[in-house]
């Protein structure tokens, strides 16, 4: 792990050199490919160095972080073109990347907490520094305070665990089974807000709508997965309490997922529609994870990775339209089939992945999650049926409303996509459908 970390540390000076924007991006792509070859397919922590190691869960999520950050640079060409504090932007992204890698590869619970909170700061800077509307200040404060408020109990809970067991190492904590209710709530709540669970999800659509495209991509692609990753880690020693209390979160998530899906159907802003759909998807991930069944845990991991690629790709598409038309409203972004015919295929491909159509990785994840939730309680079938139906409904609404219909009169031109944009969308869609062939590494790691 140390080799990867040093590689990124040496990117810091490059950020400050003139005209090194694409160089940083190429080096990050190179690192992604090097990391693919360091395959750490193991349930045990491998490549351990001081505080960092890597097992199967970390491996997938670190790879996702590297990939999404590389693609963020590709999507944010406008920042490079208009010289909008390029060097600071690069530095911000590289710092964010290194914090995310630290978070996913920490072997100790405390180090995980430290970097989990640290990754908030560059995200906040992204929203405040490169966001669009003046409301971005409020969005940033929402993001910060929702997350920080519930993180304090978690810190206290971790110190209690340390006092009780004398260790914070994930691997050693697996030997313990705690039976302290307050400990359970203090450890789990922080991750539920980060996921975000319905009822504590309000910071997410706000942050997404105000963030620049790179902010939306990293939020949807990686930041939401921090919550799921944390839960996967702490449930190894909270199983006993999980059996007692998990029904609360499953019920909230399933009912919330349906309500959020209905909210999706009345959005007129492209970005907020995609953001609310993320809440619905993470709701089903959370429910499956909370059943603590084999299918549920592996399915939630698969869907987290799939959703990271798919949602990020949809935000790129929304941004491509925004750069052409200067608006994200569906009332103006309609009939795009006439305006950008070459993009309609990409809208279709990524929307169908969002609906969990085969052969995307979303399908594998959703089938496993539906299996696990129904096996936990068959009453949940009603909610799952509605969730699946509305998930298809709002995706279809997004696709049909934006591509078909009469084109807005203010647009009287024609626009092809740039090669950079096609490559960007291809690099989201291709791994999403290729990973289904490597489904064993998503499902057989436990």
Per residue in 161-218, pLDDT (tens digit) is 999 999 999 989 999 999 999 999 999 999 999 999 999 999 999 999 999 999 999 9
SS3 state of residue 166: coil
8 Å CB contact between 143 and 193: no
Give residue for tokens 């050199």.
Answer: 17
Give the number of other CB atoms < 10 A from CB of residue 159: 12
Lowest pLDDT segment from 18-22, 37-41, 310-314: 37-41
Q: How many residues does the chain have?
A: 446
Distance CA(76)–CA(213), nearest Å, equals 7
Residues 6 or more apart in contact with residue 19 via CB below 8 angstroms: none
Q: What is the mean pLDDT of residues 237-257?
A: 94
Q: What is the mean pLDDT of residues 247-267?
A: 96
Q: Which tokens hold the place of 182? A: 């307050």
Residues 6 or more apart in contact with residue 141 via CB below 8 angstroms: none
Tell me: pLDDT of 40 over 80. Answer: no
At 147, give phi and psi (nearest 5°): -75, -40
The total number of structural domains in the chain stands at: 1
pLDDT (0 to 100) of residue 121: 94
Tell me: pLDDT of 314 over 90. Answer: yes
CB-based burial, 121-137: b 16+ in 10 Å, e otherwise? ebbbbbbbbbbeeeebe
Q: Which tokens hold the place of 153? A: 């109990």
Read off the pTM. 0.95
Q: Which tokens hold the place of 438? A: 């490597």
Distance CA(245)–CA(359), nearest Å, equals 35
Q: What is the mean pLDDT of residues 289-317?
A: 96
Tell me: pLDDT of 38 over 90. Answer: no
CA angle 385, 232, 363 (to 5 degrees): 35
pLDDT band at 416 (very low <50, low <70, confident <90, very high): confident
Q: What is the mean pLDDT of residues 7-13?
A: 93
Percent of the chain with pLDDT over 70: 100
Tell me: pLDDT of 1 over 90. Answer: no
Give residue for tokens 């110190």.
Answer: 159
Distance CA(210)–CA(137), nearest Å, equals 9
Torsion sign, CA atoms 283, 285, 289, 294: positive
Range of the domain at 108: 1-443
SS3 state of residue 54: strand
pLDDT band at 46 (very low <50, low <70, confident <90, very high): confident
8 Å CB contact between 112 and 219: no
Q: What is the mean pLDDT of residues 99-126?
A: 95
pLDDT (0 to 100) of residue 293: 94
pLDDT band at 39 (very low <50, low <70, confident <90, very high): confident
């Amino acid at each position: 792990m140390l080799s990867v970390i040093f590689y990124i540390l040496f990117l810091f000076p490059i950020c400050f050199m003139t005209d090194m924007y694409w160089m940083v991006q190429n080096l990050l792509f190179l690192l992604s490919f090097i990391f693919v070859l360091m395959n750490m397919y193991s349930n045990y922590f491998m490549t351990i160095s001081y505080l960092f190691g890597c097992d199967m869960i970390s491996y997938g999520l670190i790879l996702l972080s590297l990939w999404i950050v590389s693609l963020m640079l590709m999507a944010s060409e406008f920042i490079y073109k208009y010289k909008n504090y390029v060097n600071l932007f690069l530095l911000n992204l590289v710092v964010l990347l290194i914090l995310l890698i630290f978070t996913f590869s920490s072997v100790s619970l405390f180090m995980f907490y430290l970097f989990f909170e640290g990754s908030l700061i560059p995200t906040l800077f992204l929203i405040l520094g490169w966001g669009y509307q003046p409301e971005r200040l409020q969005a940033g404060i929402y993001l910060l305070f929702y997350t920080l408020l519930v993180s304090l109990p978690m810190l206290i809970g971790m110190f209690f665990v340390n006092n009780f067991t004398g260790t914070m190492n994930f691997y050693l904590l697996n030997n313990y089974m705690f039976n302290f209710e307050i400990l359970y709530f203090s450890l789990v709540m922080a991750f539920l807000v980060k996921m975000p669970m319905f009822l504590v999800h309000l910071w997410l659509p706000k942050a997404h709508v105000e963030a620049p495209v790179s902010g939306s991509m990293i939020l949807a692609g990686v930041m939401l997965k921090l919550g799921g990753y944390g839960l996967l880690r702490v449930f190894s020693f909270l199983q006993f309490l999980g059996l007692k209390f998990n029904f609360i979160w499953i019920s909230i998530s399933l009912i919330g997922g349906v309500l959020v899906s209905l909210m999706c159907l009345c959005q007129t802003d492209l970005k907020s529609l995609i953001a609310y759909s993320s809440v619905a998807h993470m709701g089903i991930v959370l429910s499956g994870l909370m059943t603590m069944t084999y299918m549920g845990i592996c399915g939630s991991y698969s869907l987290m990775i799939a959703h990271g690629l798919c949602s990020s790709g949809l935000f790129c598409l929304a941004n491509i339209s925004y750069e052409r038309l200067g608006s994200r409203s569906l009332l103006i972004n309609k009939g795009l089939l006439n305006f950008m015919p070459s993009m309609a295929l990409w809208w279709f491909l990524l929307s169908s992945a969002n609906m969990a159509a085969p052969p995307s990785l979303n399908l594998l994840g959703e089938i496993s999650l539906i299996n696990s939730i129904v096996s936990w309680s068959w009453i949940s079938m009603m909610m799952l049926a509605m969730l699946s139906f509305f998930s298809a409904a709002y995706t279809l609404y997004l696709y049909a409303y934006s591509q078909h219909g009469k084109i807005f009169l203010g647009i009287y031109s024609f626009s092809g996509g740039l090669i950079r944009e096609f490559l960007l969308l291809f690099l989201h869609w291709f791994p999403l459908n290729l990973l289904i062939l490597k489904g064993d590494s998503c499902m057989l790691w436990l």
